[in-house]
Amino acid sequence: MSFQRVFSGIQPTADSFHLGNYFGALKHWVRIQNSGVETVYAVVDLHSITVEAQQDPKQLRRRTLVSYAQLIAMGVDPQKSVLFVQSHVPEHTQLAWVLQCITGFGEAGRMTQFKDKSGKEGTDHTSVGLFTYPVLMAADILLYRATGVPVGEDQRQHLELTRDLAQRFNTRFKKTFIVPEPLIQKATAKFVDLQNPTGKMSKSAQTDGGMINVLDDPKQISKRIKSAVTDNEGVVRFDRANQPGVTNLLSILGAVTGRDPESLVADYDGKGYGALKGDVADAVVGEFEPIATRTRELLDDPAELERLMALGAGRARDIAAPILKAAYDAVGFVGIQ
């Protein structure tokens, strides 16, 4: 199906987006924006305080600004897309309360992300916010009457809850919300840790050396890639089971160049891993260095960044406020002129 309006958000939980964020989601944001679809994108800072370890005010403030600036630097255009910070639009939490009141306790408790994260936090440190996180996510989407939502496997269950809540509200009260459809991206490469090819590349990796961040210094990016763990075979093949390190490097190069990773193998016939690592390093630096430069320019101009955030918040509220009012009216809240 074609989508009229797409919503997506990303949490500001790190000092830089990483390779997986960029190729798995954010580059698609730009592609969707430039396809002519109406796009609404958010830095979802409200979601980022559901875990106690992330509730550092100075850190959150800095990471929110860095995240917003990076999105612009990556190509999200504040004139084409509605780009805002979630906490600047109070309608999100206002609608979330209404949706919480039609969400079953057992229904929320079955969310697998809550089970996983609460297991790590322990019951004494698990917040109610973490429990109701998927309901706030539903409010994020339904407030904009998004017809499509890009989702990975980790968020598919949350989108199903969003769809259930939209249908439940429309049936119980009055048809108010659009039931969104998942926007399934073409399969994207799964990047693994450069130092531990059996583990996922993520911000929770055991060592920083296994990660590639968008804002890393080019020399650091190059060093990490050239130090990547491979194997002793000495032959470049695309073989996840037996050569995960080499396959990871091919996957990264394929993502940057837009080529099928398996088709790259022929380029390294008779060449060692050094040639592959050098090409991957050059390609990644070439992709990320302009983004890092533009991000720093935006952060060095706080007045312009604030202007853009205010613009985004205003445009978001222009859409969200009437939809919240319609939901309040449907529930039976008394309005005032």
The residues carrying an active-site annotation are: 117, 200, 203
Using the structure block, give the residue that is written with the tokens 């973490």: 130
- String of b and e for 271-289 (b: at least 16 CB within 10 Å)? eebeebbebbbbbbbebbb
| Token pair 């799964």: residue | 190
For the chain, count helices (H), then strands (E). Answer: 12, 5
Phi, psi of 183 (to 5 degrees): -105, 100
Please give the DSSP secondary-structure letter assigned to residue 205.
-
**Residue pair 64/70 in contact by the 8 Å Cβ criterion:** no
Residue 154, token pair as written in the block: 């980790």
| Residue 235 burial (10 A CB sphere; 0-12, 13-18, 19+) | middle
